[in-house]
Chains A and B, each alone.
Chain A
């Protein structure tokens, strides 16, 4: 899995490319740890290039969410593919994470 990070004003966009499972989430955890250590509070996780994510990936998102919410930041999702929407709805992560159709809308939501 490839992780691409882009900063747009005070929002960090983390775009994931590839499958997210137990073999790739260590890199994801490391990327999130680095961003949190740098003081980043607002995150958009771009899932447009993720066709598969299992509960390992959900755990990584939940971990980031819990850490960021303590500091009054937020983690939002964008471009969730249909295959991924299923597990997000089954675990009710859609009731926790705000989701947007595209990156621009997700980033702009922090500025409302």
Chain B
């Protein structure tokens, strides 16, 4: 299992994205799958920094990645305010674009499954699941 722990503000977003791309590739992901993990992780990390930690500099994230057969599973654990996916409205996909609101939608589009564990005492755990091939 691959593991990364990071602390900081929004500057951690590109760092975890690079980690996700590298690790996904090492776990056998084809280029599109690795790029999809990079996008999903970038979206998730951005949301955590802004909404779980409110842009405070002390964000703490623990990421893990593993392969289970043809599936790659990445987990992202934060210790900030809890996230309730039911409170995220779907984005507007017709007519004029909205400014924001596409992050969670994109995660669901590029991953085979997105799960949230919200019953930790503190924070939220996000699980991203994707087949390693296109």
Contact = CB atoms under 8 A, between A and B. Distances in A.
The finding on whether chains A and B are genuine partners in a shared complex, rather than unrelated, reads yes
Interface stretch (B74-82, B95-103, B120-128): B95-103
Contact of A56 (B46, B93, B105): B46
Interface in A44-75: 52, 54-56, 58-59, 61-63, 65-66, 69
A59 B98 CA distance: 7
Interface residues of B, number: 28
A92 interface: yes
B83 to A, nearest CB: 16
Contacts of B50: 22
Contacts, number: 73
Interface string B1-40: 0000000001101100100000000000000000100110
Given A56-B46, A59-B99, 18 more contacts: A19-B17, A21-B14, A21-B17, A22-B13, A22-B46, A22-B50, A23-B14, A54-B43, A55-B46, A59-B102, A62-B99, A63-B99, A69-B96, A86-B35, A86-B110, A90-B110, A91-B106, A95-B94
Given A54-B39, A62-B97, A23 B10 contact: yes
Q: Which range holds the interface residue count of chain A?
A: 20 to 34
A93 interface: yes
Contacts of B102: 55, 58-59, 91
26 contacts: A21-B14, A21-B17, A21-B42, A21-B46, A22-B49, A22-B50, A23-B11, A52-B17, A52-B39, A54-B42, A54-B43, A55-B43, A58-B97, A58-B102, A62-B98, A62-B99, A62-B100, A66-B97, A83-B35, A86-B35, A91-B91, A91-B97, A91-B106, A92-B94, A92-B97, A93-B97
A3 interface: no
Given A22-B10, A23-B14, A55 B97 contact: no
Contacts of A66: 96-97, 99
A36 interface: no
B109 interface: yes
Given A59-B100, A91-B91, A19 B14 contact: yes
